[in-house]
Amino acid sequence: MKWGKWDRRRVLSAVLGLFSFSALTAGLRVRRASAEWLRPPGALPPGDFEAACIRCFRCAEVCPPQCIRFDAWLPPAEADTPFVVPADRACTLCMACTEVCPTGALGRIERQPDLIALVVKMGHPELSKDRCLAWNGKGNCHLCHDVCPYRNQAVTLSGDRPRPEFHPSLCVGCGLCEEACPVDDQAIRIRPLSEKTKAPS
């Protein structure tokens, strides 16, 4: 079969259209990620943090679980500043990033669990009981509780058939529970703080 000039144009136009659509949806994904991101521990409040960060990437270089990400395609004020997406990889609260940040964008925090519980607040937990296997009766899951460094405080189990309850005031927002949740589109999400992030004194 021979292709005429108009057939070729139609195919080329369809390919270009598909390419533009992919580029557009990739852009939308980036914008959504920026609205939902968590900052590494010890971050200054929004605005101050972006102004203080010199985009040196040292925090990511020393992060053992490699959970710190950057995105060069965000608007200039936010581009290449570090963020964490716990559903992909959560923070293990080692505090290594806070030890190397040269500007104080991430304030130094000692690796002491009691101190971390007091000063770190990366986000707050939001549980969808409709999607949680323990709450909707579809499973006997309590992984979120088992992986939490502050289990029995930030997340507790209650009832004959244990179901998790989250306690935002005791949660540091590390996201280990979100990373562990086996449900598609995790039933537990750590949301960014709208209010000022607690900074170490």
From 68, 119, 127, 199, residue interacting with ligand SF4 (rule: CB under 6 A): 68
44: contact with ligand SF4 by CB under 6 A: no
Q: Least Å distance between CB 155 and ligand SF4?
A: 4
103: contact with ligand SF4 by CB under 6 A: yes
Q: Which lies closer to ligand SF4 via its Cβ, residue 30 or residue 69?
A: 69
- Give dist(CA 21, CA 25) in Å, integer: 6
41: contact with ligand SF4 by CB under 6 A: yes
- Give dist(CA 87, CA 94) in Å, integer: 18
Residues binding ligand SF4: what is the number (CB under 6 A)?
44
From 119, 141, 171, 199, residue interacting with ligand SF4 (rule: CB under 6 A): 171
Q: Which lies closer to ligand SF4 via its Cβ, residue 8 or residue 167?
A: 167
3-state secondary structure the chain: CCCCHHHHHHHHHHHHHHHHHHHHHHHHHHHHHHHHCECCCCECCCCHHHHHCCCCCHHHHHCCCCCEECCCCCCCCCCCCCEECCCCCCCCCCCHHHHHCCCCCECCCCCCHHHHHHHCCCCEEEECCCCCHHHHCCCCCCHHHHHCCCECCCEEEECCCCEEEECHHHCCCCCHHHHHCCCCCCCEEEECCCCCCCCCC
Site string for ligand SF4, 113-142 (x = CB under 6 A): ------------x-----------------
- Give dist(CA 183, CA 162) in Å, integer: 17
From 36, 79, 150, 156, residue interacting with ligand SF4 (rule: CB under 6 A): 150
93: contact with ligand SF4 by CB under 6 A: yes
From 101, 143, 193, 199, residue interacting with ligand SF4 (rule: CB under 6 A): 101
Q: What is the binding site for ligand SF4 (CB under 6 A)?
A: 40-41, 53-59, 62-65, 67-68, 82, 91-97, 100-103, 105-106, 125, 148-150, 154-155, 166, 171-177, 190
